[in-house]
């Protein structure tokens, strides 16, 4: 009689275990939010405001005002010993002045995605592939010399903000990296 009771108890336990395992295996896996996982592996590196002079016919005709920040791989950025600010400044000079990606006579013709990908590809080429995950253009404006003179002569009353080339990305989080 005891053997019969123990056998029945054993069959019940095995059946419950099998049902529990089959239910667990049939449930869909929890969706992995790839975007959130990538954000956890990245760190925001704030760029500095940079003023780039525009030279035409041997004279300065105006200035580009820019601020570019980066989302970078947290692990790879620890190994970087190069000054990121200077590399960014060099890259912006190359793209805005050397390659003339911005044609001021055609303000709507600026290709922001090409600009971002050029910065990303060139910096990844210099610093190591995969370091720069995303380029965030916070500001890219143009002020002519006349705009600057007019702003100075008005005593900052109703200053002309210049020609906005890109409507920048707003970054609310404080900088996390003090080394770069």
- 3-class SS at 122? helix
**How buried is residue 70: exposed, middle or buried, by Cβ count under 10 Å (0-12/13-18/19+)?**
buried
pLDDT in tens, 17-40: 999 998 888 877 666 677 777 778
Question: Looking at the 3D structure of the chain, how many domains does it have?
Answer: 2
* Residues found in the chain: 180
pLDDT in tens, the chain (180 residues): 889 999 999 999 999 999 999 888 887 766 667 777 777 888 888 888 888 887 778 888 888 888 888 888 888 877 777 777 777 778 877 877 777 777 666 656 778 888 888 888 888 888 777 788 888 888 888 888 888 888 777 665 666 667 777 777 777 655 444 444
- Alpha-carbon span 99 to 87, nearest angstrom: 16
Whether residues 42 and 12 fall in one domain = no
Whether residues 161 and 81 fall in one domain = yes
**Chain centroid, CA 8 distance in Å:** 63
pTM of the model: 0.64
Whether residues 98 and 124 fall in one domain = yes
Could you tell me the residue range of the domain that residue 15 belongs to? 2-31
């Amino acid at each position: 009689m005891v053997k019969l009771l123990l056998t029945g108890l054993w069959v019940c336990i095995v059946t419950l275990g099998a049902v529990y395992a089959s239910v667990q295996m049939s449930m869909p896996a929890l969706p992995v939010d790839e975007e959130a996982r990538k954000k956890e592996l990245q760190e925001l590196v704030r760029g500095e405001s940079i003023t780039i002079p525009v030279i035409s016919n041997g004279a300065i005709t105006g200035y580009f005002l820019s601020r570019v920040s980066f989302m970078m791989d947290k692990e790879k950025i620890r190994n970087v010993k190069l000054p990121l600010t200077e590399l960014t400044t060099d890259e912006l000079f190359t793209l805005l002045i050397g390659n003339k990606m911005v044609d001021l006579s055609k303000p709507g013709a600026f290709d922001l995605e090409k600009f971002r990908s050029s910065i990303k590809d060139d910096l990844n080429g210099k610093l190591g592939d995969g370091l720069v995950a995303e380029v965030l253009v916070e500001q890219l404006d143009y002020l002519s010399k006349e705009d600057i003179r007019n702003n100075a002569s008005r005593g900052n009353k109703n200053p002309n903000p210049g020609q906005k080339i890109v409507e920048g990305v707003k970054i609310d989080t404080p900088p996390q990296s003090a080394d770069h």
